Amino acid sequence: MPRSFRFIQKKRGDRRTGSHQLGAAGQAFLFASFLLGGGVSLGLTIANHTIPEWRINHDYVPHACRVLGKRVVEVPDERGGFRPELWLQFALGKDEYATWGYDGGGLVTADRERCEQRLAEFEVGREYACWYDPLDPNQAVLVRDYTLAAWLRLLLPIPFLVVGGGGLAFVVVNWGKSAERRVVLARRTAQLDLLQTGESADHAFPTLPADTAIINSPGTRLRYRLPPVRPGWRLWSLVAASIVWNGVLAVLIVMTLNSAVGGGSHLVLAAFMLPFLAAGGWMAAVLVRKMVQAMRVGPTVVEISTHPWRPAGRFEVFASQAGRLRLDVWRLALVCEEEATFSQGTNKRTESRRVFEQELFRRDNVDLDAAGILEHQCEIVTPAAAMHSFESAHNKIRWQLVVTGQAGPKTGFERAFLVHFHPLARVGDR
């Protein structure tokens, strides 16, 4: 049964249960308003500033006039400034003209003294060159030039025109199109992009992530060396945060101490800074511990014999761990995690869940300092009914080889390496 649009909508992230047409109409109205506002603003700027200045410099006729008076006029608009004006008198044939003018209104400044300095350049009673408007001789100027402001004003409406015009074009192009049709049109447009040089997924297996990072990384023991999932970003983020926080805190401490030495009393400020001092100290302690740990825990290397992996397949895995510490546990596991990204208000949040974990190897009480390096190679049989790797804009299913180590209750590390799990290519493939 054909359905009419619904007024009441429910929204969670990008999911809507209301009327797409009503939403599109709202978008069209918004973008049209931007476009109209930008267009009106541009028109007014051209009419009130650009064209008059152009005419002054191109159309006005040169003549001679006598200055009979001076004044500084207060401009009653949002600029809140002053403008110099001179009382000009000149004759055109039998007609006499007298008018206030200077530069056609280009110079408006909040500095009254500047206006008076400009007026001081002209003597009352003397003759000067001027230019008058042939269409209306009552408009005349003594100074003419191009002002940067008159042309920069033309740039202000451009963002509104671009956003409004682009958005309106997007709404019009997609008007009345179903979600499926929009996806197909977007895909065709992407395929027409001849300059695209980024990674592209395997077309035989849509939604599988690109594997350039794996196939371009040869191993030394097995065929492929896997790149780590998060190469040290957490540690560098902690370094940056600690530097910024403690840097600002150090400046505040110095200022407080200087003031105290100078005889001021800042006990309240000093007391207020105590929790921030504690937080800065904790952050620095964590950073030092992490850096010491990073230096003691050496690089972890994981290599695989075959790429990609498939269900019920046999593959070789090699892992090595260097370092200068004694590990209570060193463990290699195959895990699968789901990752979902969703909008929460104006924020984007990402959550993950581990849905599969298989321990491949475990060693207890390993003294890396004495052993030098710990290595292990084993064969893995992948699950027969496992879900393949999956990647879309907001949802992922990722398979990883995870190396974890524990040295005491406070020293531990976990390093993950992505593997790509493909589905079987054909029915009956095993």
List of residues contacting other proteins (CB under 8 A): 1-4, 13-15, 21, 176, 178-181, 183-184, 187, 204-208, 335-336, 338-343, 351-359, 383, 385-388, 390, 392-397, 422-427
Report which of 384, 378, 390 is spatially closest to residue 420, judged by C-alpha positions: 390
Residue 254: other Cβ atoms inside 10 A: 10
**Cα 252 to chain centroid, rounded:** 31
Between residues 179 and 370, which has the closer beta carbon with respect to other proteins?
Answer: 179
Between residues 15 and 410, which has the closer beta carbon with respect to other proteins?
Answer: 15
Between residues 1 and 261, which has the closer beta carbon with respect to other proteins?
Answer: 1
Closest approach of other proteins to the CB of residue 109, in Å: 53
Report which of 363, 417, 422 is spatially closest to residue 391, judged by C-alpha positions: 422
Distance CA 181, CA 61 (A): 62
| Cβ-proximal residues to 304 (8 Å cutoff; 6+ apart), any chain | 219, 222, 223, 224, 226, 315, 316, 317, 318, 401, 419
Tell me 411's DSSP state: -
Between residues 277 and 335, which has the closer beta carbon with respect to other proteins?
Answer: 335
Residue 360: other Cβ atoms inside 10 A: 17
Closest approach of other proteins to the CB of residue 309, in Å: 14
Closest approach of other proteins to the CB of residue 223, in Å: 23
Closest approach of other proteins to the CB of residue 425, in Å: 6
Closest approach of other proteins to the CB of residue 278, in Å: 32
Between residues 141 and 403, which has the closer beta carbon with respect to other proteins?
Answer: 403
Distance CA 301, CA 319 (A): 6
Query: Is the backbone of residue 232 left (phi > 0), alpha (psi -120 to 50) or beta?
Result: left
Between residues 306 and 343, which has the closer beta carbon with respect to other proteins?
Answer: 343
Closest approach of other proteins to the CB of residue 417, in Å: 18
Report which of 318, 323, 414, 302 is spatially closest to residue 368, judged by C-alpha positions: 323
Between residues 298 and 339, which has the closer beta carbon with respect to other proteins?
Answer: 339
Helix (H, G, I), strand (E, B) or coil at 326: strand
The count of residues in the chain is 430
Place of tokens 């893995």: 380
Closest approach of other proteins to the CB of residue 24, in Å: 11
